Structure 1
Amino acid sequence: MDGDADRGTALDSTTVGRRVRRRTGLSRADVLSAALALVDADGVEALSMRRLGKSLGRDPMRLYRHAPSKDDLIDGVVEFALAELPVPAMPESGDWEEALRRAAHAFRALALAHPHVVPLMVTRPLATPLAMRPLGTLRPLEALLDLFVEAGFDGCGALHAYRLYVGFLYGHVLNELQERVHDPDERDHLLRLGLHRLPAREFPWLRALAGELAAYDGERELDEGLDIILEGLRSRTTQCE
């Protein structure tokens, strides 16, 4: 009897051990988080189901239940990254300009945290009709339209204001991400930026502006651009014709 009890205890322990070792279920969020990490590390070109499966320790074929295609996976990565953005809303003070400034700086922070995702944020919508885009990519649009309407714009004017504002933000972050320093420890601006390699006769302005390029301050440039954009929006409530 005691032997049977011992064997039963051993079997129970083995069963529990197997259950403990059994892998937990994988969610779409788990897959997209791992995919975003791959894109952050090596760019979107490095993203594949094979590499993704390896990083998650899973059979790549099992991942297709969470992302049926490469396009769906990329769209999911964009949506997952955008979920980090706080939703812009009218503050109690009613200062809609300050709300737009905060949203702009939050978007810049997101872009600097995920530079390889920025081109996807800008270009992916061009390949997909508005109503077919992932809902997460449309929520910032809806929130900004709501903010502009609360600020006094009519529906059509809010849409024009949104396009101007977001177009500026996209252009700014793309420009800022291009300001790559070739050799951070080099003090000579031409050498630091690698501009010494450019033929002087063909690129006189780029070489002449090396000091200004080397002193680029993305946050300051963002605020200066916002001053211009918001002053223009403040001067009128754009109406539909």
Structure 2
Amino acid sequence: MPADKQPYPSVWARPQRRRPEQQQPLSREQIVSAALELLDAEGINALSMRKLGIRLNAGATSMYTHVANKDELLELLVDQVYGEVEAPAADDPAGWRAAITRYAHSLRATVLRHPWIVSVLGETGVAYLGPNVMRQNEAVLAAFEQGGFTLEAADRALNTVVAYVIGVSTGEAAWLTTLARSGQTEQEWAASLWPAAEQAVQDYPRLRKLYAAQRNQDLSAARDDEFAGGLACVLHGLAAHFSPAEGSG
């Protein structure tokens, strides 16, 4: 079915086209793998079907057998990246909070390995129908249910945790991308920026106090601590709001 005739323009909304194995010049997996390498190396602006074809030494016809356009390719890439996230284990003996905490840290780490993904999450059609995303969401819902959440509450909790992780990670990804372009470390960048920052906060006593306390911090460790602290607050709030079973974690 042509992409423009589909009920919804998504790679997940149509069956995958197949040719006899001997006629397949390349596979969907090869296309996605090459595109992922390109994006991780050069960023989202580097991705084009033409550039990808050159990288694969393949013609457009070969690629369009598997993906109708760049939007479909992005859906596949998002699902591929989500496949790296550690989903909560069923009936984790450590309890639901520990399971969700590990999941959230894994999601953040995955986003930071592939910082380009934050710029396409809102532009990938029905990427949430991808198999990796669906398996992950199913596992997260089960973890919340283990903690006494109803299914509806678990769905809201899942959306809240993901919103927190993606919100924090978006800022971090932008920061790390800027650092990569500069060729500096976080500490080097901060040291070069510090005189201007100190001058800017002179008339703001609270900010001045905070900046002074942060002067010699390990910035990477500070980001980790801030993320963990915020996540603990989110989970505490979810527990208080939805009143899960006592003793569930």
* TM-score, length-scaled by structure 2: 0.71
The CA deviation at 1:199 is 9.0
AA at the equivalent of 1:155? L
Partners in 2 of 1:199 and 1:210 — Cα distance?
11
Partners in 2 of 1:46 and 1:129 — Cα distance?
21
Matched pairs, number: 213
Is the 1:189–1:214 Cα contact (8 Å) retained in structure 2?
Answer: no
Partners in 2 of 1:117 and 1:144 — Cα distance?
21
Q: Which residue number corresponds to residue 239 of structure 2?
A: 234
Instruction: Answer 1 or 2: higher relative contact order, Cα 8 Å, separation at least 6.
Output: 2
Partners in 1 of 2:206 and 2:43 — Cα distance?
28
Partners in 2 of 1:167 and 1:24 — Cα distance?
40
Q: Which residue number corresponds to residue 58 of structure 1?
A: 58
Is the 2:168–2:227 Cα contact (8 Å) retained in structure 1?
Answer: yes
> Over alpha carbons, which structure has the higher Rg?
1
The CA deviation at 1:69 is 1.0
1:169-204 deviations in Å (ceiling 9; x for gaps): 1111112223345643876846247x8399949x96
Q: Which residue number corresponds to residue 76 of structure 1?
A: 76
Q: Supply the RMSD in Å over aligned alpha carbons.
A: 3.5
The CA deviation at 1:67 is 0.9
Partners in 1 of 2:92 and 2:77 — Cα distance?
33
Query: Which range is displaced more, 89-98 or 168-177?
Result: 89-98
Correspondences of 1:1-241 after superposition (within 5 Å)? 25-93=25-93, 95-121=95-121, 123-124=122-123, 127-128=125-126, 133-180=129-176, 181=179, 183-184=184-185, 189=190, 191-192=192-193, 196=196, 200=200, 208=208, 212=214, 215=217, 216=219, 217-237=222-242
Structure 2: give runs of 5+ residues left out of the alignment.
1-21, 245-249
Task: Give the SS at the match of 2:26.
Answer: coil
* TM-score, length-scaled by structure 1: 0.73
AA at the equivalent of 1:234? A
Structure 1: give runs of 5+ residues left out of the alignment.
1-21
Partners in 2 of 1:44 and 1:38 — Cα distance?
9
Q: In 2 relative to 1, CA 81–185 (structure 1 residues): closer, same or farther, beyond 3 Å?
A: closer
The CA deviation at 1:80 is 1.0
Is the 1:91–1:99 Cα contact (8 Å) retained in structure 2?
Answer: no
AA at the equivalent of 1:78? V
Following TM superposition, the consecutive aligned residue runs of length 4 or more in structure 1 with deviations greater than 6 angstroms are 203-207
Partners in 1 of 2:38 and 2:196 — Cα distance?
34
Identity %: 28
Is the 1:38–1:46 Cα contact (8 Å) retained in structure 2?
Answer: yes
